[in-house]
């Protein structure tokens, strides 16, 4: 029946010799492979790491957590040290130190990597949660055995200030600072020109906006950066906080694609997003000079325009000057004055009404 309906199909079958069948088989195989590749390769730029797999060399969990003061969960510290052991970086920069817990995790992970060195940077000189303690105190106090001339700590300014001294060829960066725009966007732009091709960049608090449930005012900066920065993404399979699995991991890494300079616009353009704090004048000037030195004028111009626009729209003046102060005092004084006048007027009206009433009552 089929052959009657499709005589040409019959003819085609008949002329197929062994060689044709082989060619068709190869074509079918290639088609199957490419279709399979298309379907399985959808998420090829994300590697999901199961950090629960026991690793005999892994001892981030053996660190005394009571003395660590680290601002990361246990699974996050494991993920960070897993990455260091895997990529064996020689030059590591950490931005955002606080007590020094994450510095200890990194120093512990590099102890077997010959020649590896950590450079830690913090804007503050003192721990923000405990101002009587200097930044990084935990390393000196409890983990000094991990320091063998392999740690430099820079405090009291933004990253740009220290980069000439730290120098290039950085192959691993851990960024954990404000989690609000322009925070880590600026941190990343300050370290990018000093990174080796294929460097690893790790962001903490990539789902911070879900942790701080009462505060959705920003907090999504690192989530955005993890998405936008070009490269192979690496995230943990599961992230536990106090034993409870988070819906979204709160840490993630990027193995940078080559030629990051091609994507500078994408990163600078993130500065157009809302800002939740405003860097001070000295920091803006430092950043201005840094961007002029390391990026083309188009990128510097985006920074300038973002600064002037956000400065205009910030809800509060960051650096009030004398004129602002006089204006605020004048407005407050005139508001109080007009209230006093209204009160006095209403008092005098009341008393005249009462007098009117009394006169009427008088027989
Ligand atoms: C969340 S804490 C770091 C916690 C630390 N990584 C840990 O896990 O133990 C954030 C730190 O970033 C610092 N910081 C804020 N803005 C910064 C900036 N622009 N550059 C460098 N450090 C900054 C703060 O002073 C604070 O100590």
Residue 252 is assigned to a structural domain of this protein: yes
Q: How many domains does the chain have?
A: 2
Q: Tell which one of 93, 95, 123, 184 to mutate to probe ligand 1, the residue whose CB is within 8 A of the most ligand atoms.
A: 123
Q: Indicate if 160 and 246 belong to the same structural domain.
A: yes
Q: Is the CB of 95 under 6 A from ligand 1?
A: yes
Q: Indicate if 25 and 64 belong to the same structural domain.
A: no
Q: Indicate if 131 and 25 belong to the same structural domain.
A: no
- pLDDT, one tens digit per residue, over 165-214 is 999 999 999 999 999 999 999 999 999 999 999 999 999 999 988 886 65
Q: Indicate if 279 and 154 belong to the same structural domain.
A: yes
CATH code where residue 67 lies: 3.40.50.150
pTM of the model: 0.77
* Angle at the Cα of 230 from the Cα atoms of 201 and 217, rounded to 5 degrees: 70
Residue 32 has pLDDT above 80, yes or no: no
Residue 306 is assigned to a structural domain of this protein: yes
φ, ψ for residue 252 (rounded to 5)? Answer: -160, 155
- Which structural domain, as residue segments, surrounds residue 25? 2-40
Residue 43 has pLDDT above 90, yes or no: no
Stretch (H or E) spanning 121: strand 117-122
Q: Is the CB of 80 under 6 A from ligand 1?
A: no
Strands 170-175 and 126-127: unpaired
Residue 50 is assigned to a structural domain of this protein: no
Q: Is the CB of 159 under 6 A from ligand 1?
A: yes
What pLDDT does residue 353 have?
Answer: 58
128's tokens: 């923000």
Q: Indicate if 65 and 20 belong to the same structural domain.
A: no
Q: Indicate if 30 and 87 belong to the same structural domain.
A: no
Q: Is the CB of 190 under 6 A from ligand 1?
A: no
Q: Indicate if 74 and 36 belong to the same structural domain.
A: no
Q: Indicate if 135 and 12 belong to the same structural domain.
A: no
Residue 31 is assigned to a structural domain of this protein: yes
Q: Indicate if 110 and 191 belong to the same structural domain.
A: yes
Residue 31 has pLDDT above 80, yes or no: no
């Amino acid at each position: 029946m089929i052959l009657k309906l499709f005589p040409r199909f019959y003819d085609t079958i008949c002329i197929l010799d062994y060689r044709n069948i082989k060619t068709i088989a190869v074509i079918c195989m290639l088609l199957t492979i490419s279709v399979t590749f298309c379907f399985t390769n959808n998420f090829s730029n994300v590697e999901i790491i199961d950090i629960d797999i026991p690793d005999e060399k892994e001892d981030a969990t053996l660190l005394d957590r009571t003395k660590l003061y680290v601002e990361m969960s246990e699974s996050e510290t494991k993920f960070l040290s897993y990455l260091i052991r895997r990529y064996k970086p020689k030059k590591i920069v950490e931005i955002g130190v606080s007590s020094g817990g994450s510095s200890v995790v990194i120093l512990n992970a590099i102890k077997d990597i010959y020649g590896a060195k950590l450079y830690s940077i913090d804007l503050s000189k003192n721990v923000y949660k405990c101002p009587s303690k200097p930044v990084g105190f935990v390393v000196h106090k409890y983990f000094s055995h991990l320091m063998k001339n392999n740690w430099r700590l820079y405090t009291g300014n933004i990253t740009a200030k220290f980069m000439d001294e730290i120098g290039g060829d950085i192959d691993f960066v851990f960024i954990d600072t404000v989690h609000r725009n322009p925070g880590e966007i600026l941190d990343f732009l300050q370290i990018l020109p000093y990174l080796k091709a294929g460097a690893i960049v790790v962001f903490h608090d990539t789902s911070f906006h879900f942790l701080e449930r009462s505060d959705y005012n920003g907090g999504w900066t690192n989530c955005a950066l993890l998405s936008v920065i070009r490269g192979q993404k690496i995230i943990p399979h599961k992230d536990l906080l106090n034993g409870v699995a988070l819906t979204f991991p709160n840490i993630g890494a990027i193995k940078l694609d080559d030629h990051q300079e091609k994507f500078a616009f994408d990163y600078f353009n993130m500065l157009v997003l809302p800002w939740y704090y405003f860097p001070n004048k000295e920091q803006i000037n430092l950043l201005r000079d840094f961007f002029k030195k390391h990026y083309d004028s188009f990128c510097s111009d985006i920074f300038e325009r973002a600064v002037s626009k956000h400065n205009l729209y910030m809800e509060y003046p960051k650096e009030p000057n004398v004129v602002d102060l006089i204006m605020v005092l004048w407005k407050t004084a005139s508001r109080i004055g007009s209230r006093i006048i209204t009160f006095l007027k209403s008092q005098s009206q009341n008393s005249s009404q009462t007098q009117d009433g009394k006169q009427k009552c008088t027989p």
